[in-house]
Amino acid sequence: MAGNFFRVQCGDCENEQVVFGKAASTVTCAVCGSTLATPTGGEADILGEVVETVEAR
């Protein structure tokens, strides 16, 4: 499996952005800079609210 993308809503400003499920580096909100996901070596730890799972095709 190539890995999924998640549409994550920032808990601070409600911005939504797409985060790779296996992000290798910390993902921050493009609007307010809040951390949305942190790498764990496998699946990223998503800190925001996952609105939608987008499966890779």
Asked whether position 13 contacts Zn ion by CB under 5 A, the answer is yes
Asked whether position 32 contacts Zn ion by CB under 5 A, the answer is yes
DSSP percent split of the chain into helix, strand, coil, nearest 5: 0, 40, 60
Asked whether position 10 contacts Zn ion by CB under 5 A, the answer is yes
Question: Distance between CA 27 and CA 8 in Å, rounded?
Answer: 11
Q: Which stretch binds Zn ion (CB under 5 A): 1-9, 23-31, 38-46, 48-56?
A: 23-31
Measured on CA atoms in the order 45, 48, 49, 51, is the torsion positive or negative?
Answer: negative
Asked whether position 56 contacts Zn ion by CB under 5 A, the answer is no
Asked whether position 18 contacts Zn ion by CB under 5 A, the answer is no
